[in-house]
A and B are shown apart, each in its own frame.
Chain A
Amino acid sequence: GAVVSQHPSWVICKSGTSVKIECRSLDFQATTMFWYRQFPKQSLMLMATSNEGSKATYEQGVEKDKFLINHASLTLSTLTVTSAHPEDSSFYICSARDYQGIDTQYFGPGTRLTVL
């Protein structure tokens, strides 16, 4: 149980384009999902908290207009990186909070974004 998927697993795009990343909880409903960014050999940096049916809560220093988050259903949250630039290249990982089992977060496999 507690499986989270992410799509795509990797993406290469040109500077100035937008990229959408999907995060799905496959076997449980997740009213809360989280989006993280991870640079090589570094920790997981929380970007935002995504709540189903309401606006996302962004961490300090994260641009809301650049990283658009939509949590349209109990099993799907999306992160759109708008007008991507090379400095946005990173490993983006989502997690979903499972209230009903052990109340912890289960992570998706991550998306490697490379902006040329």
Chain B
Amino acid sequence: QQPVQSPQAVILREGEDAVINCSSSKALYSVHWYRQKHGEAPVFLMILLKGGEQKGHEKISASFNEKKQQSSLYLTASQLSYSGTYFCGTSVYNQGGKLIFGQGTELSVKP
């Protein structure tokens, strides 16, 4: 089942912060965050693993609440280059690394 992301869209001024949430109805093994710009491939940002391990982008942070089956992506001091659509991809145990993606959050950073 597809995870649910919120908000669906957000507009920021440069330097402002944003939080994007991802919620699943299934017990998760990992959560993967990607950013996609229009007409381009999704770019990997971060992975959060059950047990608390995080790997990925240095300037972006995220959290993973295993009990609530939720993850949040924190974008601080946003830059114009942060604009794009953010997707969370969730995986469960014994699915061969298959990811199911949320519907996306469109982030626009204005000067």
Contacts and interface: CB of A to CB of B under 8 A. Distances in A.
B64 interface: no
Contacts of A80: none
Contact of B102 (A43, A57, A93): A43
B73 to A, nearest CB: 15
Interface residues of A, number: 23
A103 B103 contact: no
Main secondary structure of the interface of A (DSSP, over half): strand
Contacts of B40: 109-110
A107 interface: yes
Contact of B32 (A4, A42, A105): A105
A44 interface: yes
Nearest to B97: A97
Interface string A40-53: 00111110010100
Interface string B37-67: 0011111100100000001100000000000
5 A-B pairs with the lowest CB-CB distances in the bound complex, closest first = A107-B41, A44-B101, A109-B41, A97-B97, A102-B55
